[in-house]
Amino acid sequence: MILLSWCSYILLISFILVKVDAKCPNHCSGHGQCNWANNTCLCNERYKIAADCSLKKCVSGQAWASKANGQNRAHQWLECSNNGKCNRQKGRCECFPGYEGDACQRSTCNCGPNGRCMTIGQVYKDVFVNVDNAVASNYSKWDRDQTTMCVCDFGYTGSACELRICPKGDDPLTLFSDFRTILMTIGTTSTEKLSGTVKFTFNGANAYFPANGNQFSYDQCQKKFSSLPNIETVKCFRSIPDYWGNVQYVIKIHI
């Protein structure tokens, strides 16, 4: 009887050992928890790729090219922006040539020493609009922070700002040539006085002056535009500003 009891006890221990020995694949690679009920891994968020949690996800971005998944719905978020390969061991994107970023989400541009590589969103904000950036907020296309281009320094052009711009002038054979005339009206429809700054760009050179005409006299106008490096002579005419600072300028420029 004693021997039989010991055998039963040994069999019971063996059963328990076999039950405990059941395990998840590869111990979930240290990147998840084992569900002992069905021996499956509950992987951490970045490792939900393989059954044993051994492979890592890469960063996702808006896909440059993908299949539309509805009306006016495309460019869904995919790993490496669908523009590179995911290194599953490191969880890093290996971008295709011409693209960069953690998710290969941005095109590259090499502008050399004569320009800056900027996204189209930055260009709208810093180059194409006035200083209050009113227009920049209206550009909300999917590639606002993805598409890049070179913004060249003054005097340079080309896709990589590698070319010089030659001086410009009027064709001497042009009939009835005269000063280039620019009509500029600055005003407000509100009940408050004009404030802020106007950014004026002419052939790549910038001039800044107060929007309120009462703060920018005829002499200041003449001096400001004459200081631009790509203008030879200037004639500046200014209307008399009203109480709110509304004003009109007639600027005649000879380059």
Tally the domains of the chain: 2
Local confidence band at 50 (pLDDT 50, 70, 90 cut-offs): confident
Q: Which residue has the tokens 């004569």?
A: 114
Q: pLDDT value at position 147?
A: 92
Residue 128 predicted with pLDDT over 80: no
Least confident range from 133-137, 161-165, 178-182: namely 133-137
106 or 1, which is more confident? 106
Residue 49 placed within a domain: no
Dist. CA 74–CA 64, nearest whole Å: 9
Q: Quick one: 191 and 240 in the same domain?
A: yes
Q: pLDDT value at position 170?
A: 67
Q: Quick one: 206 and 237 in the same domain?
A: yes
Residue 56 placed within a domain: no
Q: pLDDT value at position 255?
A: 66
Local confidence band at 129 (pLDDT 50, 70, 90 cut-offs): low
Local confidence band at 38 (pLDDT 50, 70, 90 cut-offs): confident
- This model's pTM is above 0.85: no
Question: 60 - beta bridge partners?
Answer: 79
Each residue's pLDDT tens digit, 209-219: 999 999 998 88
Residue 84 placed within a domain: no
Indicate which CATH number applies to the domain containing 159.
2.10.25
Tell me the mean pLDDT in the region 178-186.
83
Do 228 and 243 touch, CB atoms closer than 8 A?
A: no
Which of 106, 98, 101, 204 is CA-nearest to residue 161? 204
Q: Quick one: 249 and 187 in the same domain?
A: yes
As a whole-number percent, the residues of the chain with pLDDT over 90 amount to 33
Do 103 and 80 touch, CB atoms closer than 8 A?
A: yes
Q: Quick one: 123 and 152 in the same domain?
A: yes
- Residue 156: C-alpha distances to residues 101, 109, 230 (Å): 27, 16, 14
Each residue's pLDDT tens digit, 214-239: 999 888 988 888 888 777 788 888 89
User: For residue 148, what are the domain limits?
Assistant: 109-164
In eight-state DSSP terms, residue 241 is P
Residue 142 CA to its chain's centroid (Å): 10
Residue 245 placed within a domain: yes
Tell which of 120, 136, 164 closes a domain: 164
